[in-house]
Structure 1
Amino acid sequence: MSTAGEVRSYRDTFLPYWHPVAYAHELREGPLAARLLETELVLWRTASGVAATQRYCAHRGADLSAGTVTPQGLRCAFHGWTYAQSGSCVRIPSQPQTPVPERARVNSYLAAQRHGLIWVCLSPEPAAPLPEWPELADSATVATVPLPRLDWETSAGRMVEIVLDVAHLSFVHEGTFGNPEQPEVPAYDVEKRSDGLRAQIVYPALAPAVGSAPPRVDRTTLTYEVTFPFTARLTFKPTLFYPHTVYAVASPWSEEKMQCFYFASYHPRIRNFAELFVKSESAILEQDRRVAEGQRPRAHPLDFSGEVPVKADRLPIEYRRALAALRLGRPPDAPAWD
């Protein structure tokens, strides 16, 4: 990679962005453990929203995710120390008449609930707002269905790249929807935005066989929309069917491991969509996982010096260029490096 810039650490680069750490339905009355960028977190609900702090008590290192949510805050199960949303300890039961020491606190972080997810930003100043998906706000015309969380031994960027990769569909997804007889990828444009990318491609997907009839080719329009750093929204528009949209939001545990929150929105008139989606998409993603976890390095590469990209790879190439720009402290839509 020809550049004079200094590469920032992975954690420092992506720390100021919002990342999902749990589905909203997972966070109930009690606290919930989570992890983000090598930081152990505990989440809990407050009267005003969602709180996120470091997971371990400042007193003796007990796991706060085993504690209890009270009106005062999160109470540690070991000695009852109670923490407010700000991270400050507000109660030490063993010495109620003594002022709480200033050092009796845990780190707190920004947290929010949106799009059915719990998001956390580890920086006090987010580098970008949460993704805007206005279609999800209308529950009367759009239904959603999530998959179980995906825990993959690969980087968040690698996971997003495989979602954006058109050329692999005919090979990796043979037997699900891939069409091995038509692997050619026609030329397509990629729109670069300050916060992401957009591309539209028509793919000759194989519709499932029905009864004794063989699978039929359905020229499906695929619209890819990326929000940096690790979110892909992919809309499928079959020729003779309602469209549906898939949301893949990868959350980095570390530079080489991630979890992904993967769900779909669809028209409520599509019968049995949720059941079929979970079954078919789980099979498709298992095909992707085997490939992604086998790639080396597991960390997302910053350049292409060890690879031979072609024009069909344009969308994942532009995505990698954008993340490389972020690692260099440059705008993601900056002119590409060689």
Structure 2
Amino acid sequence: MPEPRPLFKDESFLRHFWHPVATLDEFESANASGNGPMPVELLEQKVVLARLGGKIVAMKDQCVHRCAKLSGGKVKGDQLQCPYHGWMFNAEGKCTHMPACPTQKISSRAKVDNYDCEIKYGLVWVRLDSSYGVTEIPYFSVADNPNMRIVVQEPYWWEASAPRRWENFTDFSHFAFVHPGTLFDPNNAEPPIVPMDRVNGQFRFIYDTPAGMDVPDEAPIGSFTYHCSMPFAINLAVQKYVGNTLHVLFNVSCPVSSKRTKNFLIFARDASIGDPDYPHIAFNNLVFAEDQPVIESQWPEEIMEDEISVVTDKVSMQYRKWMKELELASEQGKDAFKKALYNSVIESDRTYPDMMVAAE
């Protein structure tokens, strides 16, 4: 038999997207100063985060002098100091001082690569390649809703690829087998085939889960509305059958490498209920603990071309198709990539007021 081939030949197209690398709490706890530095990894690129001049910045975690990790250094004022020879770098990555030869002219080559970095939803986001400049930080539907209580959970690490994690979170067919009695009733093993719309760089679809299942009240079971910002963010808004309240799960994976993810979950619920956070955190962790060994058992970690699909795999099949289009378009340049990301493909009869905003 021929060797299985990965679906994606070149994952460099993912460098054009924004990815979360840490929670803000993580960053501020990484150093007693609250300003870093903090090492992170994204797409096998070692990155250092530091707050310089009041703003968190992201740079390549490597000094241009003798390649020491800058994350082992110190933040001094609005500069990051290398731990090896004390070279100082500003927020743009430019070397401003060489202590061993302070009067020598600093070469223009003495500059560390820096990356786009933003704080949003309590997460630190990084974009490694801004040359196309057409991507946005993914959509979290209730980020600015004062009526919702928003909780940023601690990140969780899986030995699995980010596409595998995305498919797991949007896979209707696994609920009955991986989460029986926790999230689903094992007697409801046959999910519907839902229409899927591509709008504004997102997949949008709705799944009304079966009513009357014997699951805990903490289980977010109801009408599921998905807004999935490419490539790895999922905003799942659940109008719960219990109490008819809104519960939102925002799950996004950081592709540390092709085989490892750092995953982030933000969840939100009606603030007027006034219930404690802990039961919800514990329930989310329980669901993830049921998923993790199964997803980590998938091998190879990368999605393969020859995997067998059936009709109920529609969501993952459409996801793979779009991801492949983005990979190929990225090789053709900015315009092709933007078109592949923002052109609408509509299957349902729903309308969206923001359908072409990004494309325009």
Give the TM-score category using the shorter length. Answer: 0.7 to 0.9
CA distance in 2, matches of 1:218, 1:161: 19
Aligned partner of 2:300 in structure 1 is 297
Decide whether the 8 Å contact of 2:8 with 2:324 is kept in 1: no
Q: Which amino acid aligns with 2:216?
A: P
CA distance in 2, matches of 1:296, 1:249: 21
Superposition map of 1:23-102 within 5 A: 23-28=23-28, 29-102=35-108
Deviates more, 1:245-254 or 1:8-17: 8-17
Superposition map of 1:123-134 within 5 A: 123-125=129-131, 126-133=133-140
CA distance in 1, matches of 2:262, 2:284: 16
Change (3 A) 1:185 1:72: closer
Aligned partner of 1:223 in structure 2 is 225
- The secondary structure found in structure 1 opposite 2:142 is helix
Decide whether the 8 Å contact of 2:21 with 2:123 is kept in 1: yes
- The secondary structure found in structure 2 opposite 1:25 is helix
Q: How far apart are 1:25 and its partner, in Å?
A: 1.6
Q: How far apart are 1:91 and its partner, in Å?
A: 1.1
Aligned partner of 1:326 in structure 2 is 326
CA distance in 1, matches of 2:308, 2:169: 19
Q: How far apart are 1:48 and its partner, in Å?
A: 4.8
Partner deviation per Cα, 1:63-96 (whole Å, 9 max, x = no partner): 2112221224111222221111111111112222
Decide whether the 8 Å contact of 2:193 with 2:314 is kept in 1: no
- The secondary structure found in structure 1 opposite 2:11 is helix
CA distance in 2, matches of 1:261, 1:103: 36
Q: Which amino acid aligns with 1:284?
A: V
CA distance in 1, matches of 2:220, 2:26: 37
CA distance in 2, matches of 1:251, 1:218: 24
Aligned length: 320
TM-score (normalised: structure 2): 0.82
Aligned partner of 2:290 in structure 1 is 287
Q: How far apart are 1:289 and its partner, in Å?
A: 1.3
CA distance in 1, matches of 2:320, 2:230: 11
Query: Any unmatched runs of 5+ in structure 1?
Result: 1-6, 211-216
Decide whether the 8 Å contact of 1:42 with 1:54 is kept in 2: yes
Decide whether the 8 Å contact of 1:151 with 1:258 is kept in 2: yes
Q: How far apart are 1:164 and its partner, in Å?
A: 0.5
CA distance in 2, matches of 1:198, 1:209: 26
Aligned partner of 1:236 in structure 2 is 238
Change (3 A) 1:41 1:219: closer
Q: How far apart are 1:334 and its partner, in Å?
A: 8.5
CA distance in 1, matches of 2:296, 2:157: 11
CA distance in 1, matches of 2:141, 2:88: 38
CA distance in 2, matches of 1:90, 1:103: 12
Q: How far apart are 1:269 and its partner, in Å?
A: 2.4
Aligned partner of 2:333 in structure 1 is none
Aligned partner of 1:307 in structure 2 is 308
Q: Which amino acid aligns with 1:151?
A: W
CA distance in 2, matches of 1:273, 1:201: 28
Query: Any unmatched runs of 5+ in structure 2?
Result: 1-6, 29-34, 330-335, 346-360
Q: Establish whether residue 171 from structure 1 lines up as the match of residue 180 from structure 2.
A: no
Aligned partner of 1:199 in structure 2 is 205
Q: Which amino acid aligns with 1:150?
A: Y
